Amino acid sequence: MLIPALLLLALAALAVLHWTRRAKWARAQSTARTEIETLKEAHRGALTQLQTQQEALFDSMVEGLVVLDERGRILLANRAFMDLFGLTADVRSRTLLEALRLHELAELVDLLGTQKQVLGRQVRLPHPAERWLGVNGAALLNDLGRRHGTVLVFHDLTRLKQLENTRKDFVANVSHELRTPLSLIQGCVETLLDGAKDNPEVAAKFLRTIERNAGRLRLLIEDLLVISELESGRVKLDLQPVPLHSVVQKVFDDFKARAEAGKVRLSNEAPGLAVRADPGRLEQVLGNLIDNAIKYGRADGQVTVGACPAEGGQVEISVRDDGPGLPPESLERLFERFYRVDKARSREPGGTGLGLSIVKHIVQSHGGRVWATSQLGHGATFCFTLPLDVDAGSKNP
Tell me which of 94, 121, 340, 369 binds ligand ADP, using CB under 6 A.
Answer: 340
Q: Is 396 in the site for ligand ADP (CB under 6 A)?
A: no
Looking at 290, 296, 307, 360, which residue binds ligand ADP (CB under 6 A)? Answer: 296
Single-letter code of the amino acid located at 366: H
Does residue 286 bind ligand ADP (CB under 6 A)?
no
Work out whether 351 is an interface residue with ligand ADP (CB under 6 A). Answer: yes
Establish if 321 lies at the interface with ligand ADP (CB under 6 A).
Answer: yes
When binding is defined by CB under 6 A, the residue of 153, 286, 334, 388 that contacts ligand ADP is: 334
Query: Which residues between 54 and 113 bind ligand ADP (CB under 6 A)?
Result: none
Among 346, 366, 368, 370, binds ligand ADP (CB under 6 A): 346
Number of residues interacting with ligand ADP: please give it, by CB under 6 A.
Answer: 21
Binding flag, residue 293, ligand ADP (CB under 6 A): yes
Task: For residue 322, state whether it binds ligand ADP (rule: CB under 6 A).
Answer: no
Which of 64, 149, 353, 368: binder of ligand ADP (CB under 6 A)?
353
Find the binder of ligand ADP among 189, 342, 369, 387 (CB under 6 A). 342
Span from 70-78, 277-285, 336-344, 363-371 in contact with ligand ADP (CB under 6 A): 336-344
Among candidate residues 255, 311, 292, the one with its CA nearest the CA of residue 379:
292
Asked if 214 is part of the footprint of ligand ADP (rule: CB under 6 A), the reply reads no
- Cα–Cα distances (Å) from 345 to 299, 341, 350, 352, 374, in that order, read 14, 8, 9, 11, 18
Stretch that binds ligand ADP, among 40-48, 86-94, 254-262, 290-298 (CB under 6 A): 290-298
Find the shortest distance in angstroms from Cβ 207 to ligand ADP.
25
Q: Is 326 in the site for ligand ADP (CB under 6 A)?
A: yes
CA angle 138, 141, 146 (to 5 degrees): 125
Q: Which is nearer to ligand ADP, 284 or 365 (CB)?
A: 284
The answer to whether residue 356 forms part of the interface with ligand ADP (CB under 6 A) is yes
Does 247 sit near ligand ADP (CB under 6 A)? no
Q: Minimum CB separation from ligand ADP for residue 328, in Å?
A: 13
Task: List residues binding ligand ADP (CB under 6 A).
Answer: 288, 292-293, 296, 321, 323, 326, 334, 339-342, 346, 351-357, 380
